[in-house]
Amino acid sequence: MQINLSGHHIELTDALRSYVSEKFQRLERHFDNMIDVHVILSVEKLRQKAEASLNLSGNQLFADAVSEDMYAAIDALVDKLDRQVIKHKEKTKDHHKAEATKRTAT
């Protein structure tokens, strides 16, 4: 997975870069077919905003989060994307295979 990180009105420090990459490693545990991620961190007055676009095989997910703290915004963003990735994984899972094995076993 390739993470593209950009900042609007904010200087991207090494601490922010490592925090984002560490948090996005959690998403890879749930779903392996992630192609790339584009993360935008921005500051608008007192609002810290984090948004991400995630390209999966056959789909694209988007989420954003706003908080007073940038690290809290990144945490909320990853939580939102985590729920979307799990939902996408469940949709792509073949549920009929389990039914076929049940019928042949009985």
**Which domains are assigned to the chain?**
2-105 (3.30.160.100)
Q: Which of these, 71, 68, 64, 66, lies nearest to 46 by C-alpha position?
A: 68
Q: Which of these, 69, 68, 81, lies nearest to 39 by C-alpha position?
A: 81
Q: Which of these, 2, 7, 3, lies nearest to 49 by C-alpha position?
A: 7
Q: Tell me the per-residue pLDDT of 7-49, one tens digit each, with 9 for 90 and over.
A: 999 999 999 999 999 998 888 887 777 888 999 999 998 999 9
Specify the amino acid at residue 25: Q
Entry pTM: 0.83
